Every structure is written in C-alpha cells, then in structure tokens.
Structure 1
Amino acid sequence: MSARPTPTAQGSSAPVRTAVVIGGGISGLATAALLAHDGCRVELVEAREQLGGRAGSWEQDGFRFDTGPSWYLMPEVFDHFFRLLGTSAAEQLDLAGLDPGYRVFFEDHQEPVDVHASVAKNATAFEAIEPGAGRALDQYLDSAQHTYEMALEHFLYSSFTRRRELLTAPLIARAPQLLQLLLEPLERFVGRRFQDPRLRQILGYPAVFLGSSPDRTPSMYHLMSAMDLTGGVLYPQGGFARLIEVIARLAEREGVHLRTGTRATRILTTPQPGRRRPRAVGVEIQEADGTVHELPADVVVATADLHHVETTMLPPALQTYPQRWWERATSGPGAVLLMLGVEGPLPQLAHHSLFFTRDWGENFGAIRQGRVPSPASLYVCRPSATDPSVAPSGQENLFVLVPMPAEPGLGHGGVDGTGSAEVEAIADEALAQIAAWAGIPDLAERVVVRRTVGPEEFATDLRTWKGGMLGPAHTLRQSAFLRAGNTSRKVDSLLYAGSSTIPGIGLPMCLISAELVAKRLRGDHSASPLPEPASESARPAQSGAEA
C-alpha cells in the first residue's frame, strides 16, 4: 500500500487527527471519506434524518423519486474519486448509457430534436436543421473539448492558493483566447456560429446547469457541450440515491461516523497565542431530542450552504462572507419540483426531456426580476425509461423541474395538491404544457402519485441561500478564482466544500471540492488531481446488485 501524506490543519504544522464535517450531501460524504482515508478520525453531522442533501429521495406507492440531481456527467471525475478510495465506479455503480442523451421540445415546432450519444448523429441532426451547422458543430465540440481539458488541467482542481499556477507557459500562450472566453457571454459565442434558434438553445442550455443564463454565463462554459453531445450522458441504476448510498458506505468503510438528525449550530473557536486569527476547535451540535453538546476537532469542514454556515454559525467578526457579501452576490434560480407517478407508458418522453419556450429573454428575465415565467422552460426526467426499479410495472416515474425565482415567498409544496396555491398552480401549468407539447393529452388524468416542492422547502429544509436550488450562479464574478474560496480567512482550520464554493455547481464539482479540501490539508497547492494509488489494489466491495 502506498504511503499517504499526513494532513495538517490550515495555519499550523500540527497533524490533523480529528475532523468534523458539517453536511451530509455528496460533498460532505466525499470529504469525510477522503479525510478518513488519509488517516483522520472523522465525524459527519447532518441535520436531516436522510443523507444526500439536494440529492435526496422520496418514495410512495412503489414509486421512488430522486429529488435533486439527475444527470451523470463528467464520468472521469467520478472514476478518479472512486480510485482515490481504492475502488472504481465500475465496481460501485451499474451505469447505463443513454441514447438519446436527451430530447428537446420547442414551443414553435411540432417535432422534437434528439441529442444522441454519437457526435456524427448530432452533426447530421444539426445539418438537417441548418445547412452548414453539422460542420460548425464539429468545430464547436473540438473547441469545447480543448477548453474542457484546459479547465481540468489548470482550474477545476485548483484552490488558487498560488497564483503562479495561472502563469504556466500553456496558459500564457492561450491567454488571449482564455480572456475572450471569460468576457464573451455564451449566448453571443453560440450565436456567432449558429443561426437557428433551436440550435442556439440546445447549445446555450448548459448555462442553466450552472445556475445562470446564456447571456450571463462566460462562454468558457461551452466546454459542457463536450460532455452531453459526445456520448457522455450516463445513469446509475437505482438512481442518484444509489450514488449517495455508495459514497456513504465507502465513508463508513473508511471509519467515518455518520450522524443524521444532528444539527450543527455553532463552529467553536479558540484564540491562538501569537496569532491574529483564532482556530476552529470543533462544532456545537443539537441532537434530535434537543440535547446540545460539543464535538471537538482539529479541523472543521463545512459543506452545508455557505451563506447559512457563515451567517449563523460564526459571529460577525469571524465571517469571511458576511451578509453584505451576499447582498452583492448573484443567486442561481429557485425551482418548483413536481414528482409524478403515472399509469401506463410514456414513450413520447426520453429519459431526459427539455421544453424550451420561444422567448428565452423573457423567460430568464422574469426569473431574475422575481416574476413567475409563463410559459416556463422546464426539464422532465423519466428514469423509468431506463430503470425498472423506480416505478411499478407498467407505470412511469416523472420528475419535473420548473426554474423559478429564488424566492421562498412563492411557497411550499405538498402531496396530492396540498402545497401553497402558487406552487400548485405552477405545477398544474407545467403538467398541461408537457401534455400539449409532447402530445400526451390524457397525462393529468393518468397521474396516481403527485408531490410538489417549492422554494420554501429549499430555504427551510436545506437552508439554501434565498431558497435557491443550486447555489451562487456561475457568472463571471462567481467563477473560477473569483468564486468563494474553500477556506475561512478569519478562522484557521475551517474549510469549505460544496456547490457554494470552488469549483462550483454540480455533482462532479462537489466531488472535486471535497478533493480540494484533502489537497489543502496535505499541503498540495498544485492545480492537478491528487495522485491515484499506484500499488493499492481495490478493496473487496459489494457489487451493485448486492449492496
């Protein structure tokens, strides 16, 4: 077995023997697993009874719904994470490739467009819509792939602790191109290459994954098309709740103590002789029965929503990101979620389906201005197209996401129409829109299970900033080294991970954020992923069918 560096706390040369991780979402579980693998004794505290955070699940009448992330992109990031723990994605997950990767419905057109797992098929589809677009797509995807590789090599795995990492010869040589990619919005970048509004929407939509809109997202993020238009859309059988189960089990295998129903209420600090900043020494927690006590630690890693952590768990003098910082920041959108159990088949919908309105400017503008868009561009996931375990035989599972203003005042959801009036009205309109655009006129009559979730739940249950569903948007001011950092500037031995911090939004980014914490504690300031064990063979692990 290869030796692993002993982690040390930020601002100290003393080894880290104990750590407390706040938050049981994917970033918290991944951070805990990596730190325990490096020899720390780790306790993870999660306020809810269920692990997963945004990647939660809900079951009723034989239907099982993922309540958050549903796209498995950047498989190499997952593969690398699992190899760091001496296993592999192939051992832990049963991954199915999706073809089509997704289907797109347009307000002005009867026929949807399928995005396939084949670049050639996608180029043919683009060419059929706009002459010359097939060749333009090949060039676009070539640029996306090069940009993605540059991001992996220089940005995504960096905490930007040493700015000379940004002054390497390859980056200097590409500086003019990189500057343009940062300053030019994705919408304009795409518009210079494609004329048909449908193609522009397909290539601009990845901005929504980043909590933003194509007119405000740097064109550097066209790199995301190197994933979904080149055969990179996968699905873990059992859903994303299965992914959470796997990472939680690996964390426990490494010795992590997982405590659910345990709310972190305060980060404990102590002065350090001869140093200006205090040091984190543990976390005050409240058990489900109301009991309050303290968990001491050499290092604290907060992976819960950064706004909640900073403004409620630290006194104002020790907040790196106080309320005034958030008043200048830009939130990603909120959402109304709709989970539907449906009788009978729904072949009109792919595993992933997108519904795009004609006027995107109005759609995104309404959300930014706090108005409910009508109609709204929306997303539908039909996991029962791929996974028979998520619905009873002969029935379908639908998860609908309707982007909305990040405004808890829109209200809460409920089961069988018991949510707030505005949330239920938004859900009803979305259901009617799917039925009309996809040609399923009896969709509403076939619903046998229904649950809605509104921005209020994101704010109260997940403690998200403004009730947003994703985190701070990936605008220019909130991307790469301009995004909130992963260490406190006011408290030593306090680190951060998750979608609020670098590198950003999405499951792969959350895994990378966990690795950035491990790199910090190892004293690794490089922009490269941690080296994978060369001689450490994979430990025995349950197969996907047995676990």
Structure 2
Amino acid sequence: MLKPKHIDHTIPVKKSSVAVIGSGFSGLSAAAYLAKAGHRVNVYEKNIEIGGRSRQMVEEGYTFDMGPSWYWMPEVFENFFNDFGYKASDFYELKQLDPGFTVVFGKSDVLNIPADYAALESLFESIEHGSAVQLKLFLEEAAYKYRTGMNKLVHKPGLSLLEFADWDLIKGVFRLQVFTSFSKHVRRFFKDPRLITLMEFPVLFLGAMPQDTPALYSLMNYAGLKLGTWYPKGGFGKVIEGMQKVCEAHGVVFHTNSPVSHLQVANGKIEKVGTKHGEDDYDGVIASADYHHVEQQLLDEANRNYSADYWEKRVIAPSSLIFYLGVNRKIEKLEHHTLFFDADLKLHATEIYKDPKWPTKPLFYVCCPSKSDDSVAPDGHENLFILMPLAPGIQDTEALRAEYFELIMERLEAYTGVPIRTAIDYKKSYCVNDFKTDYNSFKGNAYGLANTLMQTAHLKPSIKNKKVKNLFYTGQLTVPGPGVPPSIISGKVSSKLLIQYLNHK
C-alpha cells in the first residue's frame, strides 16, 4: 500500500471529521489536502466508480475515458503530487503528443499542430505571411497571462475584491485584458480564418462565445501551443487512480454507490450528512458534486446561497453528445486528437449559446488514444471517443442521437476513407440525460460554468456557503472554473478554507 511521504506538521490536536461529496478531480484534491492536514475524511460518491466525469469504462477489451481527454498544464498535476512527496511518474507514464492535435478544415485542408515551436512558427508562416512574428507576440502576451493567472489568480477563493489588491495585479491589469474580447484580441494578430479558428477553439469547448470571453483566456493558447499536449498512458483513469492512492495513503475512506440525500443544518452548521445507509456526524463538508444540485436538492431554501432564478440566469458551458466506439480495424488517417472544423464555428457556437438548438452542421472532436497506447484497445483495433458540443438543457432523445451519429460518421468516413460503421464492435452513446442522471449535472452540462466576464473570479458562484459556515463548494461551477487543472486547484483552495475554519472554530 502507498505510504504517505509528506506529513503536515500543523496537524490539529483534535482531528475533525470531514465529508467530501463527489470524487471527481476537485473532490479528490480537496480530500487529499484535508487528510494531509490531519482530518478524518470520508468521500461519498453516488456512482459505483471513483472519478466523476473522469471515470473509465472497460468493455470488450476497450478502456474508454468517459470524460476529459486533453492533458494540458502538466505542472498543475505535478504540483499536486509534489505536495504529497510524490511525482506524477510514480503513478503513470506521461507522453508528449506530436502532433499535439490535428485540425481538419476540409479533406485536403488539414493542420497538424507540431510539438516543436519552430515547426509551429513555420506552419503559421506557410498559412499567412508574417504570422510567425504575430504568433510570437501573441504567445508572449499569453505567457504573461498564464504566469500571472497560475501564480496569482487561480489560487484566490474569490470571496472579495480585496483579494486582487495586489500591486503586480493592479499594474498588470491592462496586460491581463480582462475587459477585452477574446475574439477581437485574436483578430488583432491573425487574419486567416483557419488561424483564427485554431486560436478560438479552446474557449468554445470551455464555455462561451469567443466575443463574450475575456482575452485573459489566451492563456489557454499558451498552454496548448507552447507547453504542449500530453497523454497519461492508460488514460485519465490513471490520474484518478494516482490521486485516489494519495488520498488513501493519508487515511481517506471512500464510499461508492452512496449518493448524499440530505444535509442536516442546525445553528448555522452542517451537523449530519445523510445517505441511503443512514446519517453521520461531521464538522465540515466540501461539496464537489454539482453546485446547483447541492443547493436545490440537499439544502433547505433558507440555507442556500442562490435561488433557482439565479441559476437560470447563469451562462452554462456546453453539454456534449459523446460516442464511445470500438472499431475492429486500424484507421490510419486519424491522429490522437482530431478536431473537425469543416463547418461554420460561429454558427455552431451561436446554436449553443445564443439560439439553443441541435446544431445545423456541427463541429466535432475525435480522440483516438489507441494511436498512442496499445493498452486501451485489442491488438489491431481502434478506440474512438467522439464528442459534439451541444447546448445545455436541450431535448435529448435516442432518435436525435442516432441522427447525429449518422451525420458525424458520414463526415468522419469521408475524411478517413474507412467504412468505420461496418467495423464497429462496441458502441455506447452519452448525452444530456446521462450527465443529469450520473452527475446530477445542471441542465446536463459537461463543463460547468461558462468563462464570461460576468462570471469571472468573485463573480462566480461563491466557494463558501454564506449561511452555513462549515460548508464549502469546489469544482467547475465555482472558482477558478472549468477544466481539469482548475478543478484540481479548486479542491486545494476549498480545502484550505475549510482547514482554516476547523482550526479556529
């Protein structure tokens, strides 16, 4: 069994008992830091498997990551394990992908994004004269935002504007471009529509129209284009497994198939957490489950931060239509990550955010991890994860799933030159209704809260319950925001606040 390598010398004299609701990245992160600080931690997970959206599904020789598939910002993962005396390599092998990803604009119009930066500059220059210099300038600005964001912003709990009364932040506020449109910012540097689309795709997938997203988020371009795209061998489930081992080494106890049914509050504090197995007493709670669900279903109205009307007015990140496919032949033309942008980005974005409907001609994404990892598919087979961003809260039927499967496969087969449909030996779909059922996800969202200006930093749903003093929230509906690295950081931030409360109560 894994032994703890790092003991926190600020362990409280009397251990407090803490419940963490949910075992996704933010929940595992919070549980680990709380246990390291000496508290007794129990994690309640409604599903049979640990991992939340990053669960794995093993079927007929295929291992599917059910959720996240992009490993960006590797230092965030490394920092988590370092905090407990480990390295990421103690738990999984990390491989840099080259190309990092591929963007398909048409059958013969394909961009392979190289891992080598000089090659990336050459690629940009071949598309638009002068764009290599522009890329350098763009990424220099993005690097500043990334360093400032990762070192200054993302670790702040967002409880007060005073948190941002930092001289470096104040003097750099214009360079951070919080009030500048991402769309306008990109167009200052590039004119070719393919380069614009390449720069805008991360914000589309993380939850807003590019024109409604602050240019601050060009830090995502720096992460993807300069820091590289990586893959943990065995899939994201290996990262979850590593974090679970860290938790268990520090005494965390996991309760699967144990959805929380209610939180009993008395005198402004949660005293009991109820499941189908009964009630248990706790000194503090971290809710890594869907924020809206916790507020609307587990708390009485008097103890909620926000009303149902508040939630209806939030801009929610997309849901997704996902297909998990096992294919009994190789598909040579696919890379590990392939983005199909052979359709109108603006139209699809509008049909997610402004005029919610099933898309007229969707963009979609294909992950083929068997290109990098023989362990996720039988020999000679391919493992495909196909994702189409979709408006949250939209109608989800089997008929619509089937219709869009055929639409997507027609384009995928035309590009690859392979009759994939006749080679499928495993197929499962996943959409809005499944996100609701499996994760109690608000409107069936896949990514949490959109990164708009009015939902940035202290304007996001509060990480702290304002009426229940020992209840804190974590994950992609609160600070710092959607994505795997932010969720890991969110768990650390929320755990720190609860530790402070427990040490001074």
TM-score tier after normalising by the smaller chain length: over 0.9
Quick one: which of 412, 419, 436 aligns to 1:442? 419
Mapped partners of 1:398, 1:316: distance in 2: 43
| SS state at 2:392 partner | coil
Note the 1:18-29 alignment, pairs <5 A. 18-29=17-28
Question: How many angstroms does 1:208 deviate by?
Answer: 2.4
What residue number does 2:121 align with? 123
Question: How many angstroms does 1:15 deviate by?
Answer: 6.4
What residue number does 1:429 align with? 407
Mapped partners of 2:236, 2:49: distance in 1: 14
Mapped partners of 1:5, 1:488: distance in 2: 25
What residue number does 1:508 align with? 485
Question: How many angstroms does 1:250 deviate by?
Answer: 1.5
- Provide closer, same or farther for how the CA distance between residues 3 and 27 of structure 1 changes in structure 2, counting only shifts above 3 A: closer
Question: How many angstroms does 1:279 deviate by?
Answer: 0.9
Question: How many angstroms does 1:270 deviate by?
Answer: 1.1
Quick one: which of 198, 203, 214 aligns to 1:207? 203
What residue number does 1:350 align with? 335
Mapped partners of 1:374, 1:163: distance in 2: 42
* 8 Å contact from structure 1 (residues 408, 454) kept in 2: no
Mapped partners of 1:361, 1:230: distance in 2: 26
Counterpart amino acid of 1:426? Y
Question: How many angstroms does 1:478 deviate by?
Answer: 1.3
Counterpart amino acid of 1:317? A
Mapped partners of 2:7, 2:390: distance in 1: 49
* 8 Å contact from structure 1 (residues 336, 427) kept in 2: no
Mapped partners of 1:358, 1:187: distance in 2: 18
Post-superposition Cα deviations, 1:339-363, rounded to whole Å, max 9, x if no partner, equal: 1111222121111110114422211
Q: Is 1:315 aligned to 2:300, yes or no?
A: yes
Mapped partners of 1:77, 1:106: distance in 2: 32
Quick one: which of 375, 381, 396 aligns to 2:367? 381
Note the 1:33-182 alignment, pairs <5 A. 33-107=32-106, 110-161=108-159, 163-178=161-176, 181-182=177-178
- Provide closer, same or farther for how the CA distance between residues 96 and 167 of structure 1 changes in structure 2, counting only shifts above 3 A: same
Q: Is 1:451 aligned to 2:447, yes or no?
A: no
Mapped partners of 1:116, 1:326: distance in 2: 41
| SS state at 2:271 partner | strand
Mapped partners of 2:477, 2:261: distance in 1: 19
Mapped partners of 2:179, 2:346: distance in 1: 20
Counterpart amino acid of 2:330? P
| SS state at 2:51 partner | coil
| SS state at 2:462 partner | coil
What residue number does 1:544 align with? none
Counterpart amino acid of 1:401? L
Counterpart amino acid of 1:475? T
| SS state at 2:52 partner | coil
What residue number does 1:517 align with? 494
Mapped partners of 1:344, 1:88: distance in 2: 36
Counterpart amino acid of 1:346? I
Question: How many angstroms does 1:522 deviate by?
Answer: 4.1
* 8 Å contact from structure 1 (residues 357, 363) kept in 2: no
Mapped partners of 1:520, 1:410: distance in 2: 39
Mapped partners of 2:48, 2:473: distance in 1: 22
Question: How many angstroms does 1:231 deviate by?
Answer: 4.2
Question: How many angstroms does 1:3 deviate by?
Answer: 4.5
| SS state at 2:43 partner | strand
| SS state at 2:189 partner | coil
- Provide closer, same or farther for how the CA distance between residues 2 and 47 of structure 1 changes in structure 2, counting only shifts above 3 A: closer
Question: How many angstroms does 1:521 deviate by?
Answer: 3.1
* 8 Å contact from structure 1 (residues 118, 231) kept in 2: no
Quick one: which of 257, 279, 300 aligns to 1:294? 279
TM-score of the aligned structures, taking structure 2 as reference length: 0.95
* 8 Å contact from structure 1 (residues 357, 375) kept in 2: no
Counterpart amino acid of 1:253? A
| SS state at 1:35 partner | helix
Note the 1:489-500 alignment, pairs <5 A. 489-500=466-477
**Structure 1 unaligned spans of 5+:** 8-13, 272-277, 288-292, 412-419, 525-547
Note the 1:387-398 alignment, pairs <5 A. 387-398=373-384
Mapped partners of 2:70, 2:287: distance in 1: 25
Aligned residue pairs: how many? 495
Mapped partners of 1:281, 1:4: distance in 2: 27
Deviates more, 1:98-107 or 1:202-211: 202-211
* 8 Å contact from structure 1 (residues 408, 459) kept in 2: no
Mapped partners of 1:483, 1:197: distance in 2: 32
Counterpart amino acid of 1:406? P
Quick one: which of 6, 9, 22 aligns to 1:4? 9
| SS state at 2:279 partner | strand
What residue number does 1:360 align with? 345
What residue number does 1:232 align with? 228
Counterpart amino acid of 2:422? E
Question: How many angstroms does 1:400 deviate by?
Answer: 0.4
Mapped partners of 1:427, 1:3: distance in 2: 51
Counterpart amino acid of 1:495? F
Q: Is 1:483 aligned to 2:460, yes or no?
A: yes
What residue number does 1:262 align with? 258
- Provide closer, same or farther for how the CA distance between residues 225 and 158 of structure 1 changes in structure 2, counting only shifts above 3 A: same
- Cα RMSD for the two superposed structures: 1.7
Mapped partners of 1:234, 1:93: distance in 2: 12
* 8 Å contact from structure 1 (residues 282, 296) kept in 2: yes
